[in-house]
């Protein structure tokens, strides 16, 4: 298979960048901001924390974000104003596997399953990208119906 129609499986390494506000207040978790090092200044951290809380409200469909309506932000203010805290930064690297892909009907089809089916033409491929026989032929030699082989 040419590389224009097949992409082999491969590993990808990602790095998560996390700034953490640690404290000793019982019952309240630490506060995290992802994406960069915001540990140099509490106002810089707070700006990024608010931006991520606003995005969370949007993503979850919780309506418009307000300082008063966000219990997590209220807990943050409680810790920031009345308790000792520290800002720290760390990076977490992790590797994950990206499944092979094959181009079928002009679109890339992931090959992460035992049987992978093109949604446009219905062609089936195994995890290595080999085209499989039409489903009506599956199980012929054993007397099974194709639906028993999926």
Q: Which of the four pLDDT bands, split at 50, 70 and 90, describes residue 85?
A: very high
Percent with pLDDT over 70 in the chain: 95
75 with 68: CB under 8 angstroms?
no
Same domain, 19 and 69: yes
Same domain, 57 and 81: yes
Same domain, 33 and 106: no
Q: Which pLDDT score is estimated for 150? A: 63
Same domain, 115 and 60: no
Half-sphere CA count of 33, side-chain side, radius 13 A? 26
Asked whether residue 40 is assigned to any structural domain, the reply reads yes
Summarised one tens digit per residue, pLDDT across range 60-73 is 999 999 999 999 99
Asked whether residue 1 is assigned to any structural domain, the reply reads no
Same domain, 90 and 39: yes
Q: What residues make up the domain containing 41?
A: 11-96
Residue with tokens 């995290």: 32
The span from the CA of 23 to the CA of 76, in Å, is 10
Total tally of structural domains belonging to the chain: 2
Q: Which pLDDT score is estimated for 71? A: 96
Asked whether residue 5 is assigned to any structural domain, the reply reads no
Same domain, 139 and 86: no
Same domain, 42 and 111: no
Asked whether residue 73 is assigned to any structural domain, the reply reads yes
- The residues, any chain, with a CB within 8 Å of residue 70's CB and separated by 6 or more, are 53, 57
Summarised one tens digit per residue, pLDDT across range 2-37 is 457 999 999 999 999 999 999 999 999 999 999 999
Same domain, 35 and 64: yes
Same domain, 26 and 55: yes
Same domain, 89 and 130: no
Same domain, 60 and 113: no
14 with 96: CB under 8 angstroms?
yes
3-state secondary structure string across the chain: CCCCCEECCEEEEEEEEEEEEEECCCCCCCEEEECCCCCCCHHHHHHHHHHHHHHHHHHHCCCCCCCCCCHHHHHHHHHHHHCCEEEEEEEEEEEEEECCEEEECCEEEECCCCCEECCCCCCEECCCCCECCCHHHCCCCCCCCHHHCC
Q: Which pLDDT score is estimated for 3? A: 56
Same domain, 137 and 92: no
């Amino acid at each position: 298979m040419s590389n224009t129609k097949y992409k082999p499986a491969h590993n990808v390494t990602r790095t998560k960048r996390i700034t953490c506000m640690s404290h000793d207040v019982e019952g309240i978790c630490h506060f995290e901001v992802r994406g960069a090092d915001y540990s140099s200044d509490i106002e810089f951290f707070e700006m990024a924390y608010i931006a991520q809380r606003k995005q969370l409200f949007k993503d979850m469909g919780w309506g418009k974000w307000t300082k008063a309506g966000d219990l997590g932000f209220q807990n943050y203010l409680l810790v920031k104003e009345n308790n000792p805290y520290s800002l720290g930064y760390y990076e977490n690297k992790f590797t994950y596997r990206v499944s092979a892909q094959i181009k079928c009907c002009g679109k890339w089809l992931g090959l992460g399953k035992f049987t992978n089916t093109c949604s446009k033409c219905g062609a089936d491929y195994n995890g290595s990208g080999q085209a499989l026989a039409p489903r009506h032929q599956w199980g012929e030699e054993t007397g099974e119906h194709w639906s028993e082989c999926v």
